[in-house]
Structure 1
Amino acid sequence: MNTREARFGTDICFVILHYQVMEETEACVRSIREKVDTEHYAIVIVDNASPNGSGDRLKKLYRRRKRVTVLQSEKNLGFARGNNLGYDYAKNELNARFIVMLNNDTLMIQDDFLSVIEREYQKYDFAVLGPRIETNDDSPNCNPGPSTFSSTEWLDRVCRLNRKHLWRHYFRVEKLLPALKRKLMQVIKPAPEADPFEASSTQTPVKEMSEDAHRENVQLHGCCLIFSPLFTERFDGLDPRTFMFMEEEILFVQVRRSGLKTLYSPDVEILHLEDAATDAIYDKPRDKRIFYLRNQLRSAQVLRQVLRETNSA
C-alpha cells in the first residue's frame, strides 16, 4: 500500500482474545486471512488461560503460520488486560501501524478493510474507530452506542449501595437480582446532568443518529476497536483496572480527556455473532446473571475513579 510508513513494521495487527470456544476463533482468523487487503498484516491470538486446553491446540494449529502468533496467559486476565497482552505485542514487537482488538466471535466481511481505515484516518485523524456491526440475526447495528457514564457523585452513591448488597448477601443473591438490576440500570442510564466534557464534547444523542452517517466523538462498541497511531503513541491499551464490562465507557472518557477523537464509520463493517465466550463460561442463566452483576459493579467503581481523574485534571 502506498500509505504505508517506513517506521511501522506491520500495516495492521488483529488482536483476538480467545477463551475456550475454538471454532469461533478459527473462523475469525480464517475470515481475516481470506479478506485482509495487505500482505503486511499479523494476527495475535491471546488465550486467556482457557481451562479446556484450547490454547495449546491453537498454538499447535498455527505453529507454521508465520503471520499468526498465539500468546498464552497463565491466568484469566479478563477483557482489558487480556487484550492488552496482545496490544503490547502488536505495538512493541510487531511495530503495527493500526491495532484492531477483535472479539473471537466476529468475522471480517469486506475486502477493503484496511484501505477504508487508512482513508478514514487521513480524513478524520481518529484515535479509535468503530465499524458498522452486522449480526447474523439482522439485529440493528449497535454502533455507535450511547455514552452511559454518569456523574461521579451519582456513581459513588450507586457503587456504595451495590457493593454493600453484593457482598453482604452474596449467597442470597438470587433474591437481590431484581433490586440490583434496577441499580445497575441507573448506572447504565445516562443522567441528565452528566457530561465531563461540557465544553468540548460533540457527541450527538443516539436518537438523532443515522447508522449510515459518520459520527465523531461517540462511544464505540467493544467487539471491534481499531486504534490508530494517534492512540498507540499515547496509550498502552485499555484501562487495566476492569475485568469485564464498561471498557467502552472508560475508553471514551480517557480518549476525550486526552483531546483525541473517536469515530464511527459505516464504511468499515464486521459481522458479530455475540457472546460466544461468555456463554461458554456460564451455561446456567443464574450464574451468568451473577457474573454480569458482580463485574458491572466492579467496573462501575473504576468508571467512577476515571471520571474523578477527568474532573480533577
Structure 2
Amino acid sequence: MTKIGVVILNYIEYGITIDCINSFCRQTDDNINVKIIVVDNSSPNESFDVLQNEFKDNLNISVVKTPKNLGFANGNNYGYNVLKEYMDPDFVIFSNSDIILPENGLYKWILQCKNDYNFGVLGPSIYSINGDFYQNPIRSLTTNKKDIEHMIFDLYKSLFKIRIKILFRKKGKRNHIEKWSNTDYGKFHDDLTLHGAFQIMSKEYFNKYKEAYDTGTFLYMEEDILRLRCIKSNLRMIYSPDFIVHHLQSFSTNSNSLNNNKSAYFRVKNMLNSMKRYKDLLEGE
C-alpha cells in the first residue's frame, strides 16, 4: 500500500486551516495510507487548541505545535520529522493552510506522475481565487552570481528606505497579491520553479536530503532553493497541470500606514536573508 504524508502549516487562521484539512479528508483511495500532520507554528491565539479539539477523533490526523514560530521552511521540516514517527512515506505533500482541493483524484494523479516522470518534486496547477490567475509554475530566479549580488544590494537599499519611512511615519503601501503574465500554466514543464503553496516530494528526494527544505531561511525563496537542490542532485522538478488546487490568498484591508511599513520591512529583511542564503548555496557552501 502506498504511504502518503501531508504536512499543513497553520498560523493564526485556524478557520481556513480546518477547511483545508477537510478538503484533504474528502480525497478517497482505498489503496492509499494517508497521515496528515497539522503544524501550528506557535500561533499567538487559540489555534492549537481549536485544531486539536476539531480533529481529536480522527486517527489519521495529528495536530502539533512548534515551540516558537519557525517560519515556512523549518515549520514544514518540523512537520516532516513528526510524520516520520508514524510512517516511512513514499510521498509527502506540503500544503499551505489556505489551499482547497476542489475535486477528488489527488493521489491517483500523484501516482500517475510518478509512473510517467519519476519526479523528485511535483507541483499541480494552482489557481489564486482572490488574485484570479494561475500561480504555477513561477518565474525561475537567475543562477548568475553577479545578478544575485545586484539583487542583494537593491534589497539593502529598499530596507534603508523603509526604515526611514518608519522613522518619519510616512505612508506605506498596502500588501497585495503579486501577479504576473503566466503563459505556462496549461503546459507540462520540467525546467521551471514550482510555487511553494503546494508541493509533493518523493522518496527519491528524501534519499538525497534529510530535510524537506533548506534550514537557512525563515521566509521567502524556499522554491528557488528547492529548484537549486533538484538541479544539483539531478532530481526532476515536474509541473503537471492535470490536477488543480485553489489558493485562497487574502490580505487585511484595515491595516494602517505604519503597520504597512513594518510589514514591508519584515518582508524585505527576510527576502534579503534568503537571497544571501541562495547566494551561499550557489557558491557551493
TM-score by length of 1: 0.78
Work out whether 1:274 is the aligned partner of 2:267.
Answer: no
Work out whether 1:112 is the aligned partner of 2:105.
Answer: yes
Q: What root-mean-square deviation, in Å, do the aligned CA atoms of Structure 1 and Structure 2 show? A: 2.8
Residue type of the partner of 1:131? P
Work out whether 1:32 is the aligned partner of 2:24.
Answer: yes
Hey, what does 2:177 align to over in structure 1?
Answer: none
Q: Distance in 1 between matches of 2:246 and 2:29?
A: 17
Hey, what does 1:299 align to over in structure 2?
Answer: 274
Q: Distance in 1 between matches of 2:166 and 2:20?
A: 36
Hey, what does 2:217 align to over in structure 1?
Answer: 242
Which piece of structure 1 moves more, 243-252 or 131-140? 131-140
Question: C-alpha offsets along residues 280-303 of structure 1, whole Å, 9 cap, x if unaligned?
Answer: 9x7742232222111111111111
Hey, what does 1:14 align to over in structure 2?
Answer: 6
Hey, what does 2:203 align to over in structure 1?
Answer: 229
Hey, what does 2:146 align to over in structure 1?
Answer: 153
Contact 1:107 1:270 in 2 (8 A): yes
Residue type of the partner of 2:126? I
Contact 2:158 2:268 in 1 (8 A): no
Q: Distance in 1 between matches of 2:122 and 2:35?
A: 19
Which piece of structure 1 moves more, 132-141 or 117-126? 132-141
Residue type of the partner of 1:256? I
Hey, what does 1:172 align to over in structure 2?
Answer: 164
* Alignment size in residue pairs: 271
Residue type of the partner of 2:20? C
Q: Distance in 1 between matches of 2:133 and 2:113?
A: 23
- Following TM superposition, by how much is the alpha carbon of 1:141 offset from its aligned partner in structure 2, in angstroms? 1.1
| Secondary structure of residue in 2 paired with 1:35 | coil
Hey, what does 2:94 align to over in structure 1?
Answer: 101
Q: Distance in 2 between matches of 1:293 and 1:208?
A: 24
| Secondary structure of residue in 2 paired with 1:268 | strand
Hey, what does 2:70 align to over in structure 1?
Answer: 77
Q: Distance in 2 between matches of 1:124 and 1:73?
A: 35
Residue type of the partner of 2:9? L
Q: Distance in 1 between matches of 2:237 and 2:110?
A: 13
- Following TM superposition, by how much is the alpha carbon of 1:262 offset from its aligned partner in structure 2, in angstroms? 0.3
- Following TM superposition, by how much is the alpha carbon of 1:239 offset from its aligned partner in structure 2, in angstroms? 0.4
Residue type of the partner of 1:227? M
Hey, what does 1:41 align to over in structure 2?
Answer: 34
Residue type of the partner of 1:22? Y
Q: Which protein has the bigger helix share? A: 1
Percent of aligned pairs with the same amino acid: 28
- Following TM superposition, by how much is the alpha carbon of 1:171 offset from its aligned partner in structure 2, in angstroms? 4.0
- Following TM superposition, by how much is the alpha carbon of 1:37 offset from its aligned partner in structure 2, in angstroms? 2.9
Q: Match for 2:118 among 86, 109, 125?
A: 125
Hey, what does 2:127 align to over in structure 1?
Answer: 134
Contact 1:246 1:299 in 2 (8 A): yes
Question: C-alpha offsets along residues 171-224 of structure 1, whole Å, 9 cap, x if unaligned?
Answer: 424589xxxx9xxxxxxxxxxxxxxxxxxxxxxxx9895422211121000000
Contact 1:238 1:247 in 2 (8 A): yes
TM-score by length of 2: 0.86
Contact 2:91 2:200 in 1 (8 A): yes
- Following TM superposition, by how much is the alpha carbon of 1:127 offset from its aligned partner in structure 2, in angstroms? 0.5
- Following TM superposition, by how much is the alpha carbon of 1:56 offset from its aligned partner in structure 2, in angstroms? 2.2
Hey, what does 2:189 align to over in structure 1?
Answer: 215
Contact 2:134 2:182 in 1 (8 A): no
Go from structure 1 to structure 2 and tell me whether the alpha carbon gap of 1:208 and 1:171 turns closer, same or farther (over 3 Å shift): closer
Question: C-alpha offsets along residues 145-178 of structure 1, whole Å, 9 cap, x if unaligned?
Answer: 1112342233234425644773x677424589xx
Hey, what does 1:187 align to over in structure 2?
Answer: none
Residue type of the partner of 2:239? Y
For structure 2, the 5+ residue unaligned runs are: 174-179
